[in-house]
Amino acid sequence: MYFLDAPLAQQIVNRTMAIIGHNINVMNNQGTILGSGDPHRIGSVHEGALLAISQNRTVEINAAGADNLQGVKPGINLPLHYQGEIIGVIGITGEPEHLIAYGELLKMSAEMIVEQANSLELVQWQNRQQEEFILQLIKGEHRDMTHLQSWATRLNIDLNTPRVVAVIQVQDDNAQTTANSLLKQVLNLLETPSRGNLIAMSSMTELVILKPAFLDGKQWSANLESQRIDQLLKRLPSEMSAKLNIALGHYFPQPTDIHRSYQTAKETLRFGMQMHPEQSKYLFEDYALLVMLSGLKDDWRGQQLLQPFERLIEQDSNQQLRKTLTAYLNHFGDQQACAKHLFVHRNTLRYRLEKIAQITNIDLHSLNGLLQLYLGQAMLAAKQD
């Protein structure tokens, strides 16, 4: 893979003309002038370059020889090589005997510029391919595993490496370009050192990280990952204007389930920011029930589970009964502890509980009844965006 286009050719011209006081032409492997100190010559065919290409040698052209060739002035023309192929010619205008001494030096400089440009282009291409690969993985839409494995091999990615997904989101009231700039700072921190992370920007305000899951080399540990996130947060620049929120998803042993890890990370982030906006780190384990129930929010099972709690909401305009139910559930049905927490008499509490049971048609003295109301309450939180 190589390229020698007009911008790169002109870059070579500008750099080499700064070294010597002669006009420089850079031609492609068809002899067409792509870059020149004389803009009027760009686009014309240089016969001296064609000769250098066909014979793969330095061609010296004096004044007499230039008269016999089209679009040619006295000078020397040296073929440019990249990975063993002739990719073009660099021509220096002037008397050949005065130019030959540093012609090879300019040729070498031009070839180095081409190599550096192509190396950078290759790295950028690989980064784009890796980012696209990661985005395809987290979408979970891949059907052809042979193609996916081949793609991973080309990118030097081991699909069988156990991984878990973390999502980093910038919470900023400023423009998206500012958020994007901040994410690039974080990306640089994650890549130094990389620790085997696969990273992609999934939006202008979000980074997705596919992290090796076995930090101790043996097994998955959410606690170790949590500590690693704490270390990252400490490394963030103190002057960073925006708030970063980081969510860690659930680990799934099957490599093809990485999209599920991404889904749990996104849901964990959503619930974490809703319930604890003052925090920056959110772990799946802390929101597991809500995350798992969120998958039922559009399913008929979820709707059935939610119905008793929705009836309670409809007839509880001041939210008194909901607060009472929450306290009752949090105290595992201990009426004395619940009444003390609510600062009400036990008879008042008993009255409210009877009213909740009447509205929801749920027996609050049974485990099944309490569980249904608890799950309904959690479902409501999972359903809200």
Long-range contacts of 53-58 (CB under 8 A, 24+ apart): 53/29, 53/79, 53/86, 53/89, 56/86, 58/100, 58/103
d(CA 147, CA 162): 20
CA proximity to 138, closest of 206, 233, 186: 206
d(CA 209, CA 211): 6
Decide if 347 contacts 335 (C-beta within 8 A). Answer: no
d(CA 303, CA 62): 89
- For the ranges 226-240, 250-264, 325-339, the lowest mean pLDDT is seen at 226-240
For residue 61, pLDDT over 60 is answered with yes
- For the ranges 257-266, 342-351, 363-372, the lowest mean pLDDT is seen at 363-372
Over range 51-65, report the average pLDDT. 91
For residue 122, pLDDT over 80 is answered with no
For residue 369, pLDDT over 90 is answered with no
Fill in the DSSP letter of residue 285: G
Task: Check residues 110 and 170 and name the one with the higher pLDDT.
Answer: 110
Q: Burial of 49 by CB count in 10 Å (0-12 exposed, 13-18 middle, 19+ buried)?
A: buried
Confidence of residue 232 (pLDDT cuts 50, 70, 90): confident
- Please report the pLDDT score of residue 251 as a whole number: 93
Percentage, residues of the chain above pLDDT 70: 94
Our CA angle for 164, 168, 170, nearest 5°, is: 170
pTM, rounded to two decimals: 0.64
Task: Check residues 209 and 72 and name the one with the higher pLDDT.
Answer: 209
User: CA of 74: how far to CAs of 46, 52, 70, in Å?
Assistant: 12, 14, 12
- Please report the pLDDT score of residue 282 as a whole number: 95
d(CA 36, CA 95): 18
Decide if 378 contacts 346 (C-beta within 8 A). Answer: no
Residue 122 token pair: 């290759």
> Residues 6 or more apart from 362 whose CB is under 8 A from it?
308, 356, 369, 372, 373
Cite the DSSP H helix spans in the chain: 6-17, 47-55, 63-66, 96-139, 145-154, 176-190, 222-235, 258-275, 288-294, 300-314, 320-330, 335-342, 346-360, 367-383
Over range 112-137, report the average pLDDT. 85
Our CA angle for 158, 164, 170, nearest 5°, is: 115
d(CA 199, CA 267): 19
Residue 330 token pair: 């949090």
Task: Check residues 113 and 124 and name the one with the higher pLDDT.
Answer: 113
Over range 49-57, report the average pLDDT. 94
Over range 53-78, report the average pLDDT. 87
SS3 label, residue 384? coil
- Please report the pLDDT score of residue 1 as a whole number: 45
- For the ranges 12-21, 163-172, 177-186, the lowest mean pLDDT is seen at 177-186
Over range 101-121, report the average pLDDT. 87
Decide if 298 contacts 352 (C-beta within 8 A). Answer: no
Neighbours of 292 (CB within 10 A): 15
Confidence of residue 312 (pLDDT cuts 50, 70, 90): very high
Over range 282-307, report the average pLDDT. 85
Tens-digit pLDDT profile for residues 242-292:
788 999 999 998 888 999 999 999 999 998 888 888 898 999 999 888 888
